[in-house]
Structure 1
């Protein structure tokens, strides 16, 4: 792990490992400012960070630390005010909207706290929706395998209202995985789930890294969820504030306390 000091003097982190598999996502000196003049808000302040392919990373920080803005910029959902974002080595900062939409449809998966399923569609139809939107033919065998992997083979013809919250999140994960994305971004994917269901969802995300080599970057406030990741990256005031490798929930909670974020996780850790 190599630390660098970009403009502004804030220590950042470069998680590239010599001889490793390369980076799936990289932000270099990314700054994001909302508004202008005295009313402007700096959400990201010269953030430099890279995420190695085939790893599971949790991103944490107090409220207002820049977690959501980081995810939006890294996933091409928002444009940084300055700096560079690279996806599998390709610069995406200057891409037009059509190219960004294609990138998100073909190379990125998303799992949110709100499941965002279409109520009139079955599980299978919700899962294949990204393929249809991209104009791609769905491979029935691949779709069936993805649905089986998330434990819903016997629910493929059901609609969202016939499923539990945990099952709906499983559908959302299958939908994120069906396009075979390089990176899956999660925004509080366990935030609306009970403890047991949340652990099952985290196991699915962990499996997608271990078995298919995908990269998962998950924003969370929950120390227990974060402890399932290979590493935890901490943000504070839009800047890098440290990492933990293979941490316990207690270690994560302790670091968050020192960052001024006293939060309760799915396991009751404070």
Structure 2
């Protein structure tokens, strides 16, 4: 990991990252433009910005799902550009957790088997005590034998959170994790994520368009036209919304996804 002057470690580190889609001068799209930022160990970071600001590309590059055109991305001290595809796949499987708006559960598997799945895919024998702890933590002890189709949306997202955390990932990436949930259920899911940071020292990076969701984070990064346009530490939802509105107004003429 990269260690800052204050001794705090960066789990994710971007240095002068640029991502351009397309090679022709007229059609090339710059999704990230000279982004330099560090995301600290044990922190909860929300990434926000108008449509086309580069949020999705930021997340994909940070997770090793996309490769920057130039610059450096380090995850847990590893320079991602140096890894071959097999090593990159192993890193994602062993050190990264993912949560998406679409829960991406296996419909034929029970709650407990969905949670065990990443361990089995990694060739690791699931530790029953760890799996039981995760099920208990997300409040689904009485649903462990149910299948996803028998659960509410909020319960399915709880399964997805337990599945992401059961491997003890170095960093958890969440892409609009509350986008398909009602406000009450969304608060419950965000509280679970907040507790993972507070109690386990988990590092979470969450892309969201929702100021209320972002207010659960320690820090909010704002992207605009592929650049970091600002950051807020422990802000209120009202302050986030105000900053987001200014960015949205600036980007009203268009941008990159």
Match of 2:255 in 1: none
Note the C-alpha offset of 1:20.
Answer: 3.8
Partners of 1:74 and 1:85 within 8 A in 2:
yes
Residue 18 of structure 1, CA deviation? 3.6
Change in CA separation of 1:66 and 1:137 when aligned onto 2, cut-off 3 Å: same
Matches within 5 A, 1:47-196: 47-196=35-184
Structure 2 gaps of 5+ residues are 251-257
Other-structure match for 2:21: 34
What SS does structure 2 have at the residue aligned with 1:135?
coil
| Two-structure CA RMSD over aligned residues (Å) | 1.4
Distance, in Å, in 2 between the alignment partners of 1:18 and 1:41 is 35
**TM-superposed deviation, 1:90:** 1.5
Matched length: 248
Cα-to-partner distance string for 1:73-101 (whole Å, 9 max, x where unaligned): 00011111111010122211221110111
Partner of 1:252: 240
Structure 1: runs of 5 or more not aligned: 1-14, 263-270
Q: By how many angstroms is 1:35 displaced? A: 1.1
CA positional deviation for 1:214: 0.9
Matched-pair contact (CA < 8 Å) for 2:15–2:73: yes
Residue in structure 2 matched with residue 266 of structure 1 by the alignment: none
TM-score of the aligned structures, taking structure 2 as reference length: 0.94
Which residue of the partner structure matches residue 198 of structure 1?
186
Partner residue, 2:253: none
Classify the secondary structure of the residue corresponding to 2:81.
coil
Q: Give the C-alpha shift of residue 16 in structure 1.
A: 7.1
| In 1: Cα distance, 2:175 partner to 2:70 partner | 23
**Taking CA–CA contacts closer than 8 Å with sequence separation of 6 or more, which of the two structures ends up with the larger relative contact order?**
2
Deviations 1:126-150 (A, max 9, x none): 1111011110110000000011101
Contact 2:178 2:189 in 1 (8 A): yes
Does residue 239 (structure 1) correspond to residue 227 (structure 2)? The answer is yes
Query: d(CA) in 2 for partners of 1:30 and 1:18?
Result: 21
